[in-house]
Amino acid sequence: MKAAVFREVNVPMEIEDIAVSNPGPREILIRTKAAGICHSDMHFFNGTYPGQVPMVLGHESAGVVEAVGSDVHYVKPGDHVITCLSVFCGHCEKCLTGHLSLCQEPEMKRGEDEAPRISKDDQALGQFAQLGSFAEMMLVHEHAVVKIREDMPMDIAALIGCGVTTGVGAVIHTAAVEPGATVAVIGCGGIGLSTINGAALAGASRVIAVDMVASKLELARKFGATDVVDASDGEAVAKVIELSGGGVHYSFEAIGLKATAEQAFQMLRSGGTATIIGMIPPGQMVSVHGVDFLAEKKIQGSMMGSNRFRVDMPRFVDFYLQGRLHLDDLISRRIKLEDINEGMAALETGEIARSVIMFD
């Protein structure tokens, strides 16, 4: 099969012919139909986060089951599925207490004494997030997929595999925003827009979108923003506090920067909660004023929207088909696998919501 192989930081990927193994007892072979290009892929491509090379990047994807292992009963060939990087074991403390997105058990990977899932000239290739969706096929553990209805468009379904679940989940699961609350979202990329949409679904009375790009702020209104704030003048915190009458109940940072994480905390009212969704580079410290804790202000992280993806994603599919999740506008362009480097470069401009690789 063909795949874009990541071999060196910041070096354009080439499309290579690689080998894929047969499914093991609890593995599923998927024919990839669509794969979104996410900032998480870029964080590893540009070296912000350390990663294994060579590997196949990509993790936001949807496809059709091609074959299943002998012990797989959840799906069968022909089923439509969304993949998710929250691969879960199902029996550790995190899973049993409902925190599947935090599962770190190693058993969903192949052992060192087993043949690699994907390889090139007998050299093992890594799979980003145990998926590696910048490839025509994916061989994954059965707990990395969720079955969905067949009338869901694959390009839209792929977005639910990461960005949508991360943003909406941060609102409804991690922060548990209640109806009538006020919300501010910093960053109107794919995850930020999904967070805005999630806040609207949760019944927030005011949803304030914060960004420096006018076109993204305008797009935010389509996703449920009641107000927009241009942060280019450095006065975003003051503007949000004024709009919300003293600060918001909930803020969300969807960029991954120290400065914006601190701003998310600063724009809270007493008792408010800031949720950091973005991937802040390793080693960077976020500073907050200690006195704010006396006002019961809180700051917390969120991993993939604290999802229970086999429950959540089919619901998000239904929401989209009912017109309640506005996912069509998340896709800025549809490209082919050979355009992968152009799609990655587009992330750096700040103008793109999502590029989606189409395999048909």
Cα distance between residue 228 and residue 292, in whole Å: 26
CB atoms within 10 A of CB 135: 30
Q: Provide the β-strand partners of residue 326.
A: none
Cα distance between residue 76 and residue 149, in whole Å: 14
Cα distance between residue 309 and residue 83, in whole Å: 9
- Render 286-329 in DSSP notation, one character per residue: ----GGGGGGT-EEEE-SGGG--HHHHHHHHHHHHHTT-S--GG
Cα distance between residue 101 and residue 120, in whole Å: 31
Cα distance between residue 231 and residue 190, in whole Å: 18
Cα distance between residue 60 and residue 133, in whole Å: 7
Active site residues: 38, 40, 43, 59, 162
Cα distance between residue 86 and residue 95, in whole Å: 11
Cα distance between residue 70 and residue 254, in whole Å: 41
Query: Smallest Cα–Cα separation from 210: which of 175, 252, 168?
Result: 252
Both tokens of 278, joined, read: 């973005």
Cα distance between residue 217 and residue 187, in whole Å: 9
Q: Provide the β-strand partners of residue 145.
A: 83
Query: Smallest Cα–Cα separation from 201: which of 174, 219, 176, 235?
Result: 176
Contact 251, 261 (CB under 8 A): no
- Looking at the chain, list the stretches that DSSP marks H as alpha helix, in order from N- to C-terminal side: 39-45, 93-96, 154-159, 165-169, 190-201, 214-222, 236-243, 258-266, 309-321, 340-347
Cα distance between residue 186 and residue 250, in whole Å: 11
